[in-house]
Amino acid sequence: MSTSSVMQETRLRPRRTALRDRRGLALAIVLGAQLMIILDLTVVNIALPSIARGLGFSTAGLSWVLNAYTLTFGGLLLLGGRAGDILGRRRVFIVGIILFTAASLAGGLAQSAGWLLAARAAQGVGGAIASPAVLAMIAASFADGRSLGLVLGGVITEWVSWRWVLFINVPIGVLVAVVAPMFLPETARQPGHFDVTGALTSTAGMVSLVYGIIRAAADGWSDPVTLTAFAAAAVLLAGFVWHESRARQPITPLRLFADRRRSGSYLTRLLIVAGMFGMFFFLTQFVQEILGFSPLRAGISFLPMTAALFGVSRLAPRLVSRFRPWTLMVTGMLPVVAGMAWLSRIEPGTGYLAGVLGPMVFIGAGMGVVFVPLTMASLSGVRPEDSGAASSMVNVMQQVGGSLGLAVLVTAAGSAMGHAAGQAAVVHGMSSAFTLAAVLDVLALLVVLTVMRTASKEKNEAAANQ
């Protein structure tokens, strides 16, 4: 190597090191912000009993602390992705973080239930704006984030106050908003159109549907307001489908659902998450209100499920190369159904070791097997121009499934309790909710066995005949 080449290499080395450091800081900023958004649900979930006591929520009302976030987050997630493409991802990311941070501050200061719910909805909007650009990186880097959120929520709630599960976002959000312009490069703006009509009709339709289901638990299915909510949901969701079929740049390309295997994977995910979301909601309250666990101990009590999910999911990629995806999904769903059915047998005298730990491990291990092939089925065979929408649809189905499932399970629990009070009635309601969650998981298993398995066989036969 010549002397000039060595000197040039020497001059370039510090620049390359600085570039790597800059990229590392940028990645740390983005990952930290996104982890804050992802952990929000689990951190808040463990604080729900304290929130209920502090602001006087009923069980049905308490579900809106989660649903207000998931409905706006899931409903506007695709629009947030489109905004990043058109306006520049760094700009949109920072706006979303600022809104999420301001809403977190407002939620921590809440003096009434309505105030908190409005703040949670605004948090969901901010999360939907900020998230799309980095969701794929986070999914790979923080697969065990749920356990961190549960323990963190327990620590904050027990040692400080439930309000700090929201206040903790403020310094993180302010730091990210200030530092992001220094290290995150702006992306080029792409031509396109905002499908605001599609985003608003789908979100409003889902909110109306969830509201109708939850209201039915308290006022009955024939209540005029309940019926009005269902009618509004039907009109809004039908309008969403009609609009998307005619829009130049639809927020949800309906051709994604033309593939039966992909449609089946979306429906399966919705049903699974519906049961899981409600399970976390009720089990969090069971271990604190019935078993008497502190918030910190309650958070730690969920670690075996997360450990089982995380451990098994690390083996799933190897299994996918040896077995058919639908075979793995069926295998994984069996312990999930068994775990939910086991939870449905809880009573006021059920202990953690005898009636909670075993189902947790079953459910965690089963989910660890299911989710990898399920995600592969959702994304395989997608056109390049639809890859972003297909990936975002996986996250949308999780949020929508969680909201719908929680609404249905809260309604089931309320109906089972009736007007009875006391610990026995509360546990009976929880048992009914877990029973329905098991039914949802059975339905998911049936979708895999019928829709997805049949579609996979037809596709393989078509490929063999070519």
Summarize pLDDT for 333-383 with one digit per residue, the tens.
999 999 999 999 999 889 999 889 999 999 989 988 888 888 888 877 777
Residue 145 has a pLDDT of 47
* Distance between first and last Cα of the chain: 55
Residue 188 has a pLDDT of 61
Residue 231 has a pLDDT of 95
Classify residue 465: in a domain, yes or no: no
Residue 16 has pLDDT above 50, yes or no: no
**What is the percent of the chain with per-residue pLDDT over 70, rounded to a whole number?**
78
**Residues 132 and 218 reside in one and the same domain:** no
Classify residue 11: in a domain, yes or no: no
Least confident window among 13-22, 106-115, 183-192, 390-399: 13-22
What are the residues whose beta carbons fall under 8 Å from the beta carbon of 461, sequence distance 6 or more? none
Question: How far is residue 247's CA from residue 241's CA, in Å, rounded to a whole number?
Answer: 10
Classify residue 9: in a domain, yes or no: no
Mean pLDDT on 285-303: 87
Residue 133 has a pLDDT of 55
- Burial label for 464, CB within 10 Å (0-12, 13-18, 19+), is exposed
128 touches 80 (CB < 8 A): yes
**Residues 188 and 215 reside in one and the same domain:** no
Grade residue 187 by pLDDT with cuts at 50, 70 and 90. low
Classify residue 242: in a domain, yes or no: yes
pTM of structure: 0.79
**Residues 345 and 376 reside in one and the same domain:** yes
Tell me which DSSP letter residue 256 carries. Answer: G
- What are the structure tokens assigned to 357, written together? 């730990």
How far is Cα of residue 22 from the mean position of the Cα atoms in its chain? Answer: 31
Grade residue 27 by pLDDT with cuts at 50, 70 and 90. low
**Residues 441 and 299 reside in one and the same domain:** yes
Does residue 200 or residue 169 have the better pLDDT?
200
Most confident of the following: 29-43, 132-146, 215-229: 215-229
Residue 7 has a pLDDT of 47
**Residues 381 and 411 reside in one and the same domain:** yes
Mean pLDDT on 84-99: 81
Grade residue 31 by pLDDT with cuts at 50, 70 and 90. low
What are the residues whose beta carbons fall under 8 Å from the beta carbon of 296, sequence distance 6 or more? 151, 154, 155, 157, 158, 159
Residue 19 has a pLDDT of 42
Residue 238 has pLDDT above 90, yes or no: yes
**Residues 222 and 343 reside in one and the same domain:** no
Residue 143 has a pLDDT of 42
Residue 25 has pLDDT above 80, yes or no: no
Question: How far is residue 60's CA from residue 48's CA, in Å, rounded to a whole number?
Answer: 12
- What are the structure tokens assigned to 65, written together? 């602390």
Residue 457 has a pLDDT of 56
Residue 361 has a pLDDT of 93
Residue type, 115: W
Residue 1 has pLDDT above 80, yes or no: no
- Give the count of domains, the chain: 3
Sign of CA dihedral 284, 290, 295, 297: negative
Most confident of the following: 45-49, 147-151, 425-429: 425-429
- What are the structure tokens assigned to 59, written together? 């069980």
Domain boundary among 153, 178, 193: 193
Classify residue 430: in a domain, yes or no: yes
pLDDT in tens, 315-344: 777 777 788 877 888 998 999 999 999 999
**Residues 128 and 268 reside in one and the same domain:** no
How far is Cα of residue 56 from the mean position of the Cα atoms in its chain? Answer: 26
Phi/psi of residue 163, each to 5°? -65, -25
Neighbours of 192 (CB within 10 A): 13
Tell me which DSSP letter residue 188 carries. Answer: P
Least confident window among 17-26, 107-116, 226-235, 419-428: 17-26
Grade residue 152 by pLDDT with cuts at 50, 70 and 90. low
Mean pLDDT on 110-115: 89
Residue 150 has a pLDDT of 54
**Residues 207 and 184 reside in one and the same domain:** no
Sign of CA dihedral 448, 450, 456, 460: positive
- Its domain, for residue 36, covers 16-193
**Residues 48 and 179 reside in one and the same domain:** yes
Sign of CA dihedral 249, 254, 259, 265: positive
Question: How far is residue 49's CA from residue 170's CA, in Å, rounded to a whole number?
Answer: 23
Residue 139 has a pLDDT of 39
Residue 162, domain CATH? 1.20.1250.20
Which of 359, 355, 356 is CA-nearest to residue 340? Answer: 359
Classify residue 7: in a domain, yes or no: no
Residue 234 has pLDDT above 90, yes or no: yes
**Residues 101 and 174 reside in one and the same domain:** yes
What are the residues whose beta carbons fall under 8 Å from the beta carbon of 75, sequence distance 6 or more? 128, 199, 202, 203, 206, 207, 396, 399, 400
Mean pLDDT on 377-402: 77
Classify residue 3: in a domain, yes or no: no
Is residue 164 helix, strand or coil? helix
284 touches 125 (CB < 8 A): no
Residue type, 99: L
Question: How far is residue 287's CA from residue 350's CA, in Å, rounded to a whole number?
Answer: 10
Residue 154 has a pLDDT of 54
**Residues 330 and 412 reside in one and the same domain:** yes
**Residues 178 and 274 reside in one and the same domain:** no
Least confident window among 47-51, 183-187, 405-409, 412-416: 183-187
Classify residue 89: in a domain, yes or no: yes
**What is the percent of the chain with per-residue pLDDT over 90, rounded to a whole number?**
17
Mean pLDDT on 398-423: 83
237 touches 209 (CB < 8 A): yes
Residue type, 17: T
